[in-house]
Amino acid sequence: EDQVTQSPEALRLQEGESSSLNCSYTVSGLRGLFWYRQDPGKGPEFLFTLYSAGEEKEKERLKATLTKKESFLHITAPKPEDSATYLCAAMDSSYKLIFGSGTRLLVRP
């Protein structure tokens, strides 16, 4: 069965303390791996798409990487405004998106 697992469930960081979020996937015929940011009570906001192992993408303090089994979202020197839930989703061979349960990130000043 196709599955996406995110860890940790919750992460508390001090402002400036870098860390990584993990997204492990078992999906047949992976077409792409997506990262979204979701603020409380809002819809997810698209961050990155990764298509193949070894690919990396960056945006401000965020960097996403992809291997054959997992993806990482690295957060460098985070700020309080980076606090949100980060969702990853894998697209399978039928173009269906399978979401993980998310990592709730809290960055304290």
**Binding of another protein by 19 (CB under 8 A):** no
By CB under 8 A, name the one of 25, 78, 86, 102 that touches another protein.
102
**Binding of another protein by 97 (CB under 8 A):** yes
**Binding of another protein by 79 (CB under 8 A):** no
Q: Which residues pair with 109 in a beta bridge?
A: none
Block residue for tokens 């957060």? 75
Q: Is the peptide bond before 8 cis (omega within 30 degrees of 0)?
A: yes
Q: Is the peptide bond before 78 cis (omega within 30 degrees of 0)?
A: no
**Binding of another protein by 25 (CB under 8 A):** no
Q: Which two tokens stand for residue 76?
A: 């460098």
CA 104 → CA 27, 39, 54, 77, distances in Å? 23, 10, 26, 17
By CB under 8 A, name the one of 18, 51, 69, 77 that touches another protein.
51
For the bound state, the minimum distance from the C-beta of residue 99 to another protein, rounded and expressed in Å, comes to 4
What residues make contact with another protein under the rule CB under 8 A?
Answer: 4, 9, 31-32, 34, 36, 41-46, 49, 51, 87, 89, 91, 95-97, 99-102
